[in-house]
Homo-oligomer: A and B are copies of this chain.
Amino acid sequence: MFCTTKPPGSVSPAKRQIKEVKETKTTINCVTFPLPGEGPEQQLLKPNDWSYCDYFWADKKDPQGTAQVAGFEVLLQKQLKGKQMQKEMAEFIHERIKIEEEYAKNLSKLSLSALAAQEEGTLGEAWTQLKKSLHDEAEVHLKFSNKLHSEVEKPLLSFRGDNFKKDLKKYDHHIADLRKQLASRFASVEKARKALADRQKDLEVKTQQLEIKLSNKHEEDIKKARRKSTQAGDDLMRCVDLYNQTQCKWFEEMVTTSMELEKLEVERIEWIQQHLRQYTTLRHETDMFNQSMVEPVDQLLQNVDPAKDRELWVKENKTGDVRPVDMDL
C-alpha cells in the first residue's frame, strides 16, 4: 500500500550509514516526497478522473511567494466560493421574482382600466378580450414569479444550510491537526537523527583512541558507546516509524476528505444545473401560456365585422326607417 510503513528494526541504521546511499527523497514542509525520477513511477489514484485526491499534495505558494497555503486549503476555498455562488444565484433569482411581480401588478392594473370600455359590437368584444388577455398575462407572470420562488430561489438558498460551513471547519481542523502532528513527529525524527549522528561520532572517536592505547577501561567505553549508538539508532527508527504512521494517517484523511469534497462539488453543480433548468422550463412555460392568452384575442379580431357591428348598432339606435314622401296639397 502507498502509505504502509516498514516494520520497525528491519535494517539497522548503523549498518545503513556505512553505504553512503544516494538521497532519493525530499521533505517539504514536513511532508516527504520522492525526488523526480527516483523510486517507482506513481500512477494516479483515480486516473482520467481529475480527482481532487490526486492533485493537492503539495502546498501552494501565494503569488508573493511568502506564505504557503496547504493544498487542502485550496479545496476548502473552492467549497466556500461555491456556497457563495449558489447564494448569489438565489439573490439574482430573487431580483427576477421582484421584477416579474412588479410587471404582473402593472399589467393587472392596466387590464382593469375602463379605457374604451364603451366600444361596441364585435370590435368591442375583441377589445374586451384584449384587456382580459392582459389580466391573464399578468396571472402568468405572477405564477412564474411564485414558481421561481418555490422551485428555484428556495432550493438554491436552502441547499446546504448553516451546518455546511461548520462541517467544512471540522474537516479543516482535522486535517490541520494531522499536519501539526506530522510536523512534531518530523521534529522528533530530526532530533533522533542528530542524536544518532552524535553517538556514532562518539563511537568513532573512541574506536580511534583504542588503536592508540589499548586498555580495559577503553574497551568498556567503546562497548558503552556502541550500545548507546545502537540505542540511538533504535530511537531514530521508532521516530521514523511514528512519522510515517502519522503521514499515512494524514494521507488517508486527505484522500477520504478530498473525495468527500469532490462529491459535494458534483452535487452542488448538479443541484444548480437542475434548478437553473427549472428556471428555463418556467420561462418557456410563461412564453407558451402568454401565447395562448393572446389567441382568443386573435380569434375575436378575426371576427370583427363592420357590417355586423353596424347591424347591431342600427338595431339598437335606429330612429325610423319610413322615408319622407312629398306632401300633397
Give me the interface of A with B, judged by CB distance under 8 Å.
2-6, 11, 13, 16, 24-25, 27, 31-34, 39, 42, 44-45, 49-52, 54-60, 69, 71, 74, 78, 81, 85-86, 88-89, 91-92, 95-96, 99, 102-103, 106-107, 110, 113, 115-116, 118-119, 123, 126-127, 130-131, 134, 189, 236-237, 240, 243-244, 247-248, 250-251, 262, 265-266, 269-270, 272-273, 276-277, 279-280, 283-284, 287-288, 290-291, 294, 297-298, 301, 304, 306-307, 309-311, 313-315, 317-329
Contact = CB atoms under 8 A, between A and B. Distances in A.
Nearest to A243: B327
A301 B277 contact: yes
A326 B247 contact: yes
Contacts of A287: 287-288, 290-291, 294
B57 A321 contact: yes
A233 to B, nearest CB: 8
Contact of A310 (B262, B276, B304, B329): B262
A25 B327 contact: yes
B110 A3 contact: no
A270 B89 contact: no
A108 to B, nearest CB: 10
B284 A319 contact: no
Contact of A116 (B71, B89, B325): B89
Contacts of A107: 99
Contacts of A113: 92, 95
A280 B3 CA distance: 72
Nearest to A329: B13
A327 B190 CA distance: 12
B56 A318 contact: yes
Contact of A322 (B57, B60, B244, B304): B57
B265 A307 contact: no
Contacts of A102: 102-103, 106
A29 B326 CA distance: 15
B298 A85 contact: no
B27 A327 contact: yes
